[in-house]
Amino acid sequence: MCDMYLKDSRFIEDMEKTVVPKLSKIKESGYYGTNDGKRLYYEKFINENERAVVVISHGFCEFAEKFEEVIYYFLCKGYSVYIPEHRGHGKSDRDVDDLSKVYVKSFDEYVSDFAGFVNDIVKKETEKDKKIILYAHSMGGAIGALVLEKYPHLFDCAILTSPMLKMRYNGMPELLVKFLKAYAALFPVGKKYVIGQKAFTGDREDDFGCCTCGARYEYIFKKRERNDRYHMNGATYGWSVGAMNAVKKLQKNAHKVDIPVLLMQADNDMVVDNKGQDKFAKANKNVILIKIPNSKHEIYGSDYNTIKWYYDIIWKFLDKQIGGNLG
């Protein structure tokens, strides 16, 4: 076992002196070729005392390095971890030249990519008696839900954290949203920024953005500043319409999820609409919904006390699903 739960006051120092060096010793990286010829960058961290395998589906404008702390905790608990970067993100291939834009023709591409990665890379490298777990955040949660519905037994259990199961549209009136969707269907604007979106400027958000811990927010923001491949910032019409269609589809098929799911809900989420998570959980008896107090959209970016509670719930869920309590 290794030390757990980094303290806020020492977070950046502990990440740089302890966590990153430990991850670097076992990190392997590569590229996965998709069905349509795209190359998706991924990282893997194999635990020599592997208990089970976790596959991370990251959120909108995120990248593998953002999950170093999350990966570290899973490793401490005996899990191996794989994390691919979705198309249009990080070091993976894109369909647009502007590194700030996030574009996809349809979320079906994300689903095909992610399921293919799990089948072709993760499952082939994992012993058959080891269980495979999905950990999915935000947009990655929507992708994860779609994968669970289409491929019911690809994973043995899942953790959806602040999943995008209903969109907020940044306070945009519903009528305007419908107009923009119709506009995107009539005109060739798929790769253009949707109204209200823009390129990465390097400006920090107020109140630590989607985090409640300033040190965690700053650590990740500096990574974005240093690497232009991490400048994803604005949704295109293509991505936005794809997301609308995806949310509608995943809610319609919520009953198809056939494995245990832990759904972690942030109580002060200003990015996704929690009503979608409530609806999804209500539609399927396999889904356990837990609301995390004093948290914003990125629950894993919370202060120490919230982080500790958040992960303790995850460990108890996994102990029950995987078997054997590592403490």
- Amino acid of residue 32: Y
**Per-residue pLDDT tens digits for 219-278:** 999 999 999 999 999 999 999 999 999 999 999 999 999 999 999 999 999 999 999 999
Which candidate, 23, 11, 5, 6, places its Cα nearest to that of 218?
A: 11
* Number of alpha helices (DSSP H) and beta strands (DSSP E) in the chain: 11, 10
**Residue 325: pLDDT above 70?**
no
Q: How confident is the model at residue 4 (pLDDT cuts 50, 70, 90)?
A: confident
Interval 278-294 mean pLDDT: 98
Q: How far apart are CA 77 and CA 72, in angstroms?
A: 9
What pLDDT sits at residue 169? 84
What pLDDT sits at residue 215? 98
What pLDDT sits at residue 324? 58
Of residues 87 and 171, more confidence is placed in: 87
Interval 192-215 mean pLDDT: 96
Helix (H) or strand (E) holding 148, with range, is: helix 139-150
Which candidate, 220, 315, 211, places its Cα nearest to that of 266?
A: 211
**Per-residue pLDDT tens digits for 26-47:** 999 999 999 999 999 999 999 9
**Residue 306: pLDDT above 60?**
yes
Strands across the sheet with 132-137, in order? Answer: 27-33, 39-45, 79-84, 52-57, 132-137, 157-161, 261-266, 287-292
**Per-residue pLDDT tens digits for 156-181:** 999 999 999 999 987 777 788 888 89
**Residue 2: pLDDT above 60?**
no
What pLDDT sits at residue 171? 73
Which candidate, 113, 116, 151, 155, places its Cα nearest to that of 134?
A: 155
Interval 69-98 mean pLDDT: 98
Q: What percent of the chain has pLDDT over 70?
A: 98
Mean pLDDT of the chain: 96
Provide the sign of the torsion angle of the four alpha carbons 118, 26, 138, 224, taken in this order: negative
Q: How far apart are CA 229 and CA 90, in angstroms?
A: 5
**Residue 1: pLDDT above 80?**
no
201 by Cβ neighbours in 10 Å (0-12 / 13-18 / 19+) ranks as exposed
